[in-house]
Amino acid sequence: MQKRRLGKSDLEVSAIGFGCMGLSYGYGPATERSEAIRLIRAAHERGVTFFDSAEAYTGNEDLVGEALAPFRGEVVIATKFGFVNGDVSQGMDSRPQRIREVAETALKRLRTDRIDLFYKHRVDPNVPIEDVAGTVKKLIAEGKVGHFGLSEAGADSIRRAHAVQPVTALQSEYSLWWREPETEILPLLEELGIGFVPFSPLGKGFLTGAINQNTTFDQSDFRRRRAEPIRRWLISWAFAEAKGVTKAQIALSWLLAQKPWIAPIPGTTKLHRLEENLGAADVILTAEELGDIQAALSAVEVQGARYPQHLQQRVGK
């Protein structure tokens, strides 16, 4: 697996990481624990060194910690803070004392003495971003955290946080279907030397070709309430078949081609999908093919909101 450096930092990660959220949260019933551990370890065996978790992903940190404990020194583990009691539904809480509480708990759950990358999960309007950055700066000085990250933050918050404690990475949604970061965020990250970690790089599964208008979702699958607007934007790429690769591999290789400091974190609960995703690191898109993709995208109008209104209010701040 190729390696990439996140921005101007010294944090090196596999070109494609593993988003662990779906193993325990958001995409229907949690994967059986022993199977989830096997999958995480299978990712490591295949060269993945970058694993993403969060306090808010019910039980996920403990799962990731157990799975990666045998080779902790070989991997980069990212986790996140920022919600009341780690519960998204209860709203945000990024008070300095809460950040410290989350860090201490995460260290225990992850079975480690340092969080490699500690993200602010969403910008808290009630806590100055300078206070958040300052708190993480102290945790870094104490050796409990390696690097500071932000998730779904807007340009102003990124600049203000970065002025207090250099931001190593921004994690936000970015894919063939959701390209908003290209307008303002990617140029800013390049200017400041910040890496970019796209989540949902496969459009929450809709870019894989495995979901169609007849697909149904479990009651606990968060895509259920977003499926209708998303389904209006299904697209097929004939050149994926012609190139001898899958649609998912096209979507991931396209992301890798955008900037050398981008490291997407697709998630999956299936070994064959994991292997498919990682195979994208070996897919090279020519300038002509990238142009064909751009032409196809420009002919499609994206419809429907990315999040329900109450969640949309939390992004880009």
Taking only the tens place, the pLDDT of each residue in 115-134 is: 999 999 999 999 999 999 99
**SS3 of 149, please?**
strand
pLDDT at 236 (0 to 100): 47
| Domain count across the chain | 1
Instruction: Please give the single-letter amino acid code of residue 166.
Output: P
Residue 226 has pLDDT above 70, yes or no: no
Which CATH number do you get for residue 186?
A: 3.20.20.100
Q: Label residue 235 by pLDDT band (50, 70, 90).
A: very low
Active-site residue (options: 57, 119, 174, 307): 57
Q: Label residue 313 by pLDDT band (50, 70, 90).
A: low
pLDDT at 228 (0 to 100): 40
Q: Label residue 227 by pLDDT band (50, 70, 90).
A: very low
Residue 168 has pLDDT above 80, yes or no: yes
Residue 305 has pLDDT above 70, yes or no: no
pTM of this prediction? 0.88
Q: Label residue 213 by pLDDT band (50, 70, 90).
A: low
Q: Is 244 contained in some domain? A: yes
19 is written with which tokens? 């988003």
Instruction: Please give the single-letter amino acid code of residue 187.
Output: P
Residue 206 has pLDDT above 90, yes or no: no
Q: What does the H/E/C string look like for 46-112?
A: CCCCEEECCCCCCCHHHHHHHHHHHHHHHCEEEEEECEHHHCHHHCECCCHHHHHHHHHHHHHHCCC
Residue 307 has pLDDT above 70, yes or no: no
DSSP for 125-138, written as a single string: TTS-HHHHHHHHHH
* Residue-number span of the structural domain to which 201 is assigned: 3-312
Residue 15 has pLDDT above 80, yes or no: yes
Mean pLDDT for 237-244 is 80
Q: Is 317 contained in some domain? A: no
| CA-derived radius of gyration, the chain | 18
Q: Is 181 contained in some domain? A: yes
In whole angstroms, give the CA distance from residue 178 to residue 215: 21
278 is written with which tokens? 């990682």
Q: In what order do the strands lie in the sheet with 18-19?
A: 18-19, 50-52, 76-81, 115-120, 145-151, 167-173, 195-199
Taking only the tens place, the pLDDT of each residue in 171-193 is: 999 998 889 999 999 999 999 99
Q: Label residue 229 by pLDDT band (50, 70, 90).
A: very low
- 119 is an active site residue: no
What is the overall mean pLDDT for the chain? 89
Residue 158 has pLDDT above 70, yes or no: yes
pLDDT at 297 (0 to 100): 80
**What is the CB neighbour count within 10 angstroms for residue 107?**
18
Kindly report which listed range (4-13, 67-76, 230-239, 269-278) carries the lowest average pLDDT score: 230-239
Cα dihedral sign, 108-114-117-120: positive
63 is written with which tokens? 């799962």
Alpha helices in 206-283 (DSSP H): 227-231, 238-243, 247-258, 271-279
Q: Is 283 contained in some domain? A: yes
In whole angstroms, give the CA distance from residue 94 to residue 135: 10
* Closest by Cα among 3, 11, 78, 7 to 261: 7
Residue 166 has pLDDT above 90, yes or no: yes
301: Cβ–Cβ under 8 A, 6 or more apart, which residues? none
Residue 219 has pLDDT above 80, yes or no: no
Kindly report which listed range (52-56, 169-173, 230-234, 266-270) carries the lowest average pLDDT score: 230-234
DSSP for 9-48, written as a single string: SS-EEESS-EE-GGGTSSBSSPPPHHHHHHHHHHHHHTT-
Kindly report which listed range (70-84, 111-125, 150-164, 217-231) carries the lowest average pLDDT score: 217-231
